A and B are shown apart, each in its own frame.
Chain A
Amino acid sequence: MTIEVEWRDYDVIVVGSGGAGSMAARAAADDGARVLVVSKDPVGCSDTKISEGNATVRAVATDGDTEETLSENIRMAGGNLPVQSITDAFAKDSQSAFDLFRAQGLRPAIDHDRDGPKATPMAFGGHNHRRSVGLPNHGIAFAHAGWNAVVQGNGVDYLEDAWFLDLVTDEGDDGESRIVGGLIYHASAGTLIAVRAPAVVIAAGGLSTLFFPKTDTMRGNTGDSYAIAARAGADLVDMEQCQFLPFCIASPPSYEGLLVGEPASASYLGVLRDKNGKVILDSVYQRTRAECSAAIMRAVADGRGSPNGGAYLDMTGNKVLPRSGPYFMRYLETCLPAAYRNARQAFSKPVAKCEEPWEVRPSAHYHMGGLRADADGAAVKGQGDGDRALGIKGLFAAGQAMGGLFGANRLGSTSLTEVSVFGARAGRAATALARASTAKVDDAAFTPLIEATTARFGQVGTVAAATLKLELQQQAWDAIGPARTADGIAGIAGLFASLTERLDSVAIPGYATWNQSFIEFEELRNLLESGKAVAAAAGERDGSLGGHVRLDRGEISVFSTPYSTVVHRDENGGYVARRETRPRTPFKKLVSYKVKEDWRRLQSKWFRYLPASVKDRKLEARYQAIMGTPDGAAPEIEPGSDDAAIAEKKAA
C-alpha cells in the first residue's frame, strides 16, 4: 500500500516537546509565529519530566554571584571547551528563563527574605556558589509547566506519536544552504506529513539509548537531534563528551542503570572500593562525576570490579558515627530524594541503610556535545566559535541537542536552566528569521525524501531493527562508552559499516498506522549516525578529558591549549573530525583554582584520619549547619515488598 502524504505550512517547526521544545514553541508563538511541535513521545514526556527537578538560578542565594562568576564557572568546569558567548547567555538569562516556567505554573517554595525562589541548602556539584532551586515532585513539576505551554494552543499546534524524519534543505536565491521544511511520520494517523517552514528548532534530546545501562533518561534518546542535523550538513561539536553518571544500580536487573547517588550524596566519608576492599577513590564528595566513573571503569578493566561490572560505594563510615550518623541518613534522603528512593526499592535493607557498601556502576545519562551553534542556538560553521552566515540558514537547536555550553563536564542542576534559556532564545531567533523569509519553496525539494521514505514501507528483509539496536548498544558501551581505548574506538568502525549495510535488510511491513518496525528502523538509523559522530570525535581527542575517559592515555593537562572537536558528515556518510582551539583561562586563575582544589582535597583526606570522636562532633556541626536538626528517619522498605513495587501498591 502507499502511505498518504499531507502538506502543511508553518513559520517554525519545533522537534521535541520537553523542556527545550515547549519553551521554544511558547517563545516563538508569543512572538507571533505559527508553530508546529512534533513529538514522538506524548507531549512533555521527556528528560525534563524525569529529571531531579533542580534548576540553576543565578544569585538566588548570594548577592556576590555575578554573571561573570557563573559564566566562568561553567567554562572552567567544562575544561575551557564551552563557547564564551553561550555561557554568557546562560548566565545572563538564568533568572528570566526560570520565570518562563513559572509563567506556566511552576511554583517553587519562596524565600521571603530574599523575595525569590528558595535555594537548596548546598551548592550542587561543581558550582562555586549556592544557586540551585529544587521543586516538590522534581522534574514532573517542570513537565506540567512545559505541557501547559504547548497544549494550551495560543499559536502552538502539536502532534504527538509523530517522528520527525529529516530536514529538507535547498540552495536559496543566494546559493546557500537553507531550511525549507521537514518530513514527519505521524504514526497514530498512519500518514506522512510534509511541512513547509523556513525555520526548525531541534530540541529532541540526547543519545543515551546508544548505551546500556542508561539512567532513567527517556528511551526516546536515540540521537535523533544529532542525526537529523548531521544529515542536513550541520557541524557537531564535542561529540565525544558523553556524561556517564558513576553511581547507578548494577543489580537487580529491573533497576539496572538507575541513579542512586551523586558524588555529593556520598557525603564527607564516602569512598569507592574495588572487590578486594581496597580504596580506589577517596574524598568522593569532592570529585567530578567523570573522575568517579573513570575510577570504577579502571577497576573493572583490571579485573578488580564487582560481580555486576562495577565497584563499591562505601558510605558506612558516615553511618557508624554515633552523633553524626543519623544526620547522614537524613542528608542522603533529602539530598537526592528520587535517587534514594531507587536505592530503597532496589537494595536490601542493610545496604539501603548504608550499613553495607552499595554496588554501583556508571550509566549513560546526558550528552554535552551537540549541534554547533551560536548563543541563539543557530547553526554555525567556520573557524573559531563559528559564524551563523556559514551555517544552515533556518536551523536551530536547544537543550541537549545543542553543543557548546558545557564542553567536557556539566555542572549539577544546569540542564533545566539550559532548556528554558536556549529554548526561548532559539524560539525567538527562529521567529525573527521566519518573519524575514520571503523566498519561494519548490515542493520538488521534498520529493527524494518522500520517495525514499515511502519505499521503506513494505521493505522485504530478514532482520528486525530492534535486534540490531541491541547489538549496537552492546558494542557502543565497550568501544565508545565510559572507558575508551584507541583500539576500541577504531574497532567499532567495522560494526558501523555492517549495520549501515544491514539497514536495507530490515523487514518492514507495509501497513501505515503505528508501524513499529519502521519506527525501530528510523531510530536505529539515528543511533548509527550518532555513534559514528561520537567515535569520530573520540578518535580525535587523544587523552582523557571530562566525559571522555581514555584508559590508554593520561589526563589532558588543564595548562595545555584547549580544543573542541568538530565533526561533520561527508557525502559518503562517513564522519570527519577536526579541532578548534579555545581560549584558555588565564594562567594565574588556573593555578589558583588548582591550588584551592588540592587544598580542599588535602583537608578532606586529613579529616578522615582524625580520631572518630573528634570527626563525629565536627561532622555533626557541619550537618546542622546545612539542614538543621533532623526530624524523622527515612521510611524503610523491604525489597520485594509492595513498597518496592510502588505502582502496584498505589495502583488503581
Chain B
Amino acid sequence: MKIEIETHRDGETAIVDYSYERREPNEKPMILDVLLQAQATTMPDLAFRYGCRARNCGVCTVDLNGKPRVACRARIREGDRISPVNTLPVLADLVVQRDGVARQMRDRLTGAAPGNDFNQDPPEDYHELTACIECYACLQGCPMHARNLAEGAENDPRDGYTYGSPFSLLKLQLLRLDPLSTEVSREQALEHAKALGLDTCKDCAGCKCGVGIDLMGKVVRQMLAAVGE
C-alpha cells in the first residue's frame, strides 16, 4: 500500500513515499499503523505524537489528505497523504505545537472552593462536553482560531493564543454548566468567551468535532444566546 508521508525537519520539508506491508491479508490499517511501521523500518527518526492507540488520549491527530483525523482510529487507503494538522505550527515532521491553545485558558479557569457541597448532579450536557479528548480537530475551519494565524496577527503560541476555538469555548461552557459554579464565575466565563472572539461565531456555519460532540448546539449557540446574539 503506497502512502505519502510529509516530513519537516530542521527547516526542510519533504514528501516520503512509504510502502506499507499489510500484516494480515485483509488488514485495513489505521493511520497510526502506517506511522508505527515506518518508524520500525525505514524511518526510525520519524516524529509523530501518539499515546493510547484507542482514541482516548487525543494526541495523535494528523491531517489525512488535508482533513484532521485521530490517527489511531481512522483508516488509511492506497495513495493517501499524511501531513501535520494545518491549523497549528509544525515543530518536526507530524508534530505540531499544541501549547498555544490550552495556554490561553490560563487565569480563565477556577476550581470550586473547599467546603462546597459537591453532591450535586450536573445537567446531562455537562457529561456530553467532558467527552472532549482534546484532539484539536475542531480548529480546522474555525474562523475564530484562524484569526490567530492571519497575516499580521501578533501571537506567540508559547504565551497562549489571543483568539479562542471551539475547544476553549467548550471549557468555558463547562464552567457555566457546573452546578458548583457561582453566578460570578458563570458571568466571568461568558466574558472570557467574548474576549476570545465569540462574536466570530455569529456568522459561522458551524464547527466540527473529532469525536462527535455537538459543539454548535451544546456550546456555541448556548453562549451566543446568553450574550443576546
The yes or no answer to B68 lying at the interface (CB within 8 A) is yes
Complex Cα–Cα for A467 and B120 (A): 51
CB closest residue in chain B, given A217: B52
Knowing A102-B118, A151-B105, A219-B50, say if A652 contacts B111 (CB, 8 Å). Answer: no
Q: How many residues of B contact A (CB 8 A)?
A: 81
Task: Say what secondary structure dominates the interface of chain A.
Answer: loop
A161 within 8 A of B: yes
CB pair A511 B10 closer than 8 Å: yes
- On whether A651 and B57 interact (CB within 8 A), knowing A45-B51, A470-B40, the answer reads no
Chain B residues positioned under 8 Å from A615 (CB to CB): none
Contact pattern, A 630-652, Cβ under 8 Å of B = 1, otherwise 0: 00000000001000011110111
Q: A478 within 8 Å of B by Cβ?
A: no
Residue contact B33 to A254, C-beta cutoff 8 Å = yes
- Cβ of A459 < 8 Å from any Cβ of B? no
In the complex, what distance in Å separates the CA atom of A652 from the CA atom of B127?
A: 20
Given contacts A651-B69, A651-B210, A652-B209, contact A258 B53 (CB under 8 A): yes
State A153–B106 Cα separation when bound (angstroms). Answer: 6
Q: Please tell me if the beta carbons of A107 and B44 are within 8 angstroms of each other in the complex.
A: no
A514 within 8 A of B: yes
Given contacts A110-B120, A254-B33, contact A216 B46 (CB under 8 A): no
Q: From residue A306, how far is it (CB to closest CB) to chain B in Å?
A: 15
User: Which A residues touch B33, using CB under 8 A?
Assistant: 253-254
B109 near A514: Cβ-Cβ < 8 Å: no
Q: Which residue of A lies closest to B70 (CB)?
A: A647
Question: Given A152-B111, A652-B140, do A188 and B91 touch, yes or no (CB 8 Å)?
Answer: yes
In the bound complex, do residue B105 and residue A513 qualify as a contact, i.e. CB atoms below 8 Å apart? no
Interface segment among B128-136, B145-153, B195-203: the answer is B128-136
Assess whether B114 is in contact with A103, with CB atoms less than 8 Å apart.
yes
Residue of A117, A139, A647 touching B74 (CB-CB under 8 A): A647
Residues of B within 8 A of A99 (CB): 114, 118
Q: Which residues of A contact B120 (CB under 8 A)?
A: 107, 110
Report if B183 contacts A (CB, 8 A): no
- Determine whether B18 belongs to the interface, using a CB cutoff of 8 Å to chain A: no
Cβ contact within 8 Å between A645 and B30 = yes
Asked if residues B138 and A188 are in contact (CB atoms below 8 Å), the reply is no
**Which of B53, B113, B179 has the most C-beta atoms of chain A within 10 angstroms of its own C-beta?**
B53
Contact B52 A516 (CB under 8 A): no
B70-101 residues at the A interface, CB under 8 angstroms: 70, 72-75, 91-93, 95, 97-99
Residues facing A in B165-213 (CB within 8 A) are: 174-175, 178-179, 208-212
Among B29, B51, B109, which residue has its beta carbon within 8 angstroms of that of A152? B109
> Which of A141, A161, A252 makes the CB contact (< 8 A) with B27?
A252
Q: A342: which B residues are within 8 A, CB to CB?
A: 54
Contact of A103 among B74, B105, B112 (CB under 8 A): B112
* A73 lies within 8 A of chain B by Cβ: no
B68 lies within 8 A of A516 (CB) = no
Task: Determine if B57 and A50 form an interchain contact, defined as CB atoms under 8 angstroms apart.
Answer: yes
B67–A652 touching, CB < 8 Å: yes
Which of B108, B127, B134, B158 is in CB contact (< 8 Å) with A137?
Answer: B127
Q: Is the CB of A517 within 8 A of B45?
A: yes
Q: How far is the CB of B160 from chain A (nearest CB, A)?
A: 10
CB-defined interface of A371-390 with B at 8 Å, one 1/0 digit per residue? 00000000000000000000
- Is the pair B39, A160 in contact by a Cβ cutoff of 8 Å? no
Q: Tell me, in angstroms, the Cα distance from A141 to B126 when the chains sit together.
A: 10
Provide the bound-state CA to CA distance between A189 and B111, in Å: 30
Shortest beta-carbon distance, A609 to chain B, in Å? Answer: 38
Is the CB–CB distance between A107 and B131 below 8 Å?
no
Nearest-CB residue, chain B, relative to A104: B111
Known: A49-B56, A107-B121. A645 touches B95 (CB 8 A): no
Cα separation A45 to B70 with both chains bound (whole Å):
14
Distance of A110 Cα from B126 Cα, bound (Å)? 14
In angstroms, Cα B109 to Cα A105, docked, is: 11
Q: Which of A153, A220, A466 is the one whose CB lies under 8 Å from B40?
A: A466
A309-355 with Cβ < 8 A to chain B? 338, 342
Inter-chain contact A650/B127, CB cutoff 8 Å: no
A-B contact pairs, 19 of them (CB 8 A): A42-B49, A45-B51, A45-B58, A103-B113, A103-B114, A109-B121, A140-B130, A151-B105, A151-B106, A253-B23, A254-B27, A254-B30, A254-B32, A466-B39, A470-B40, A513-B10, A648-B73, A652-B138, A652-B140
Given A103-B111, A152-B111, 20 new contacts (CB under 8 A): A26-B111, A42-B99, A109-B121, A110-B120, A137-B130, A139-B56, A141-B130, A144-B130, A152-B106, A152-B109, A153-B107, A160-B99, A218-B57, A465-B44, A466-B39, A514-B91, A647-B73, A648-B75, A651-B74, A652-B210
Residues of B within 8 A of A (CB): 9-10, 23-24, 27-30, 32-33, 39-40, 44-47, 49-59, 67-70, 72-75, 91-93, 95, 97-99, 102-103, 105-114, 116, 118-122, 126-127, 130-134, 137-138, 140-141, 158, 174-175, 178-179, 208-212
Using CB atoms and an 8 Å cutoff, list the residues of chain A in contact with chain B: 26, 41-46, 49-50, 99, 102-105, 107, 109-110, 112, 115-117, 136-141, 144, 147-149, 151-153, 160-161, 187-189, 216-220, 251-255, 257-258, 338, 342, 464-467, 470, 509, 511, 513-517, 520, 640, 645-648, 650-652
